[in-house]
Structure 1
């Protein structure tokens, strides 16, 4: 089942013209999120990012076509999913720059937990510092998909992007955080990376907890000096890193654990102000 145009229908009922620019030129956007204890806690943040990307990429998004929390709840029920669910909101490229985009949402069970609760990160995939699409959840996902598949084929869980100036930016589907003593560091949001929704949550909570936060530049040499590190994404939240490009780390490290222990109840409460 999918949600589209305010209705829940079988997925086969989705109708998109063959002239849609999704098929013609690979245009379109998507957001992936989940419910936490039944709450789509971060839905508004995901929709805000979708709107920003559509505006910057000149895609014809009608805000009235976007789902709300009631639509999420109805779709999860209609899909027969017990417990929390993963959600994907997709926007087609539209028939032109001004009209015709189709928005739909599907639900699926959450992926199984990580086998050991940690990940191993190894290797780099190239990205240009001025790559426009690197900053958006674009349907043109080949670079990220190939990087992820390469990491898995080599026995690892994730790979990091690196620009020609030897700056490290993100994972294929994750944001990167590294702890150096009292400093929590993450690549700056105006670089060639998707500024993740969970990334923003972590930055907010780190400041609340009194951790020094830095958004700047990270290089391969700096990663080898990390005391602890973790990845973030909207489905798994905070993901401790046990192996970071040849460097073994405690996982979860003390700050990684502290952040997740504080953020998780907030997510499960629907985002109530602590």
Structure 2
């Protein structure tokens, strides 16, 4: 069952025009998120990002077509989910800049962990990006390069792969944002680079001061810059904080040090309390 146009309908009831630009040129957007203790504390942030991307890329999106918590609840009940679940919103490209887009939401069980050990094993160097490509800053349906980079990394025994640009600058994972701790600083690539403005990334930056960390967003991050990193982690809206055990030739004996653990605790409290902290 899916949610579309304010109704819960069977999957096969969804119809999309063959003239939709999704089929012509791969136009469209998506958002993935999850429930926490049955609530959706990040839903409004995902919807805001969807609206912003649709406006920037010229995709028609009616505000009335967006789901709310009641829609999520109805969908989870219709699909018989017990416990928390993953959600995906998909927006097609529409038949023109002004009309014809379709937005729907589906649910699924939470996916398995991205990692099999105590920390992620991360590669870089084979997924090259152009820093001036505007599509890299949005969750577009034109996802083939990210998907193939991730699948190739998995086949070679890695959990994730980071994008790189000329000069061997590191940017983001195929489905994650990158952070590292050096001293009292929390460092991450800046949003004016070729990265998706991750929702979990945003939340980590909001909560970092409560963990006595100073934030530094950088536009130039090379592998050597991580030599002094005491902790490295990735973020993802469904999986939260993912500690890193090895990145290229660098490794950390205890993935997820005290700063990472503290941030994970703050995030868990915020998310499980519905977007508030005591």
What TM-score results when the alignment is normalised by the length of structure 1? 0.98
* CA deviation after TM superposition for structure 1 residue 117, in Å: 4.3
Q: Structure 2 CA distance, aligned partners of 1:38 and 1:117?
A: 27
Contact 1:30/1:137 (CA < 8 Å) preserved in 2?
Answer: yes
Contact 2:30/2:140 (CA < 8 Å) preserved in 1?
Answer: yes
SS in 1 for 2:267: helix
SS in 2 for 1:238: strand
Q: After TM superposition, what 4+ stretches of structure 1 lie above 4 angstroms from structure 2?
A: none
Deviations 1:185-242 (A, max 9, x none): 0000111000100000000000232211100131121123321100000000000001
Q: Structure 1 CA distance, aligned partners of 2:29 and 2:230?
A: 36
What TM-score results when the alignment is normalised by the length of structure 2? 0.96
Partner of 2:120: 119
Q: Structure 2 CA distance, aligned partners of 1:257 and 1:222?
A: 22
Deviations 1:151-195 (A, max 9, x none): 101001000001113211100000000111111100001110001
Question: Is 1:240 matched up with 2:243?
Answer: yes
Query: What residue ranges of structure 1 are gaps of 5+ in the alignment?
Result: none
The 5 Å alignment of 1:55-204 reads 55-113=55-113, 114-124=115-125, 125-204=127-206
Q: Structure 2 CA distance, aligned partners of 1:95 and 1:51?
A: 18
* CA deviation after TM superposition for structure 1 residue 122, in Å: 1.3
Structural RMSD (CA):
1.0
Question: Is 1:251 matched up with 2:252?
Answer: no
Partner of 1:266: 270
Q: Structure 2 CA distance, aligned partners of 1:117 and 1:34?
A: 22
Contact 1:92/1:103 (CA < 8 Å) preserved in 2?
Answer: yes
Contact 1:33/1:234 (CA < 8 Å) preserved in 2?
Answer: yes
Q: Structure 2 CA distance, aligned partners of 1:41 and 1:180?
A: 30
* CA deviation after TM superposition for structure 1 residue 115, in Å: 3.1
Contact 1:117/1:239 (CA < 8 Å) preserved in 2?
Answer: no
- Alignment length, in residue pairs? 274
Contact 2:245/2:255 (CA < 8 Å) preserved in 1?
Answer: yes
Contact 1:2/1:106 (CA < 8 Å) preserved in 2?
Answer: yes
Contact 2:211/2:259 (CA < 8 Å) preserved in 1?
Answer: no
SS in 1 for 2:262: helix
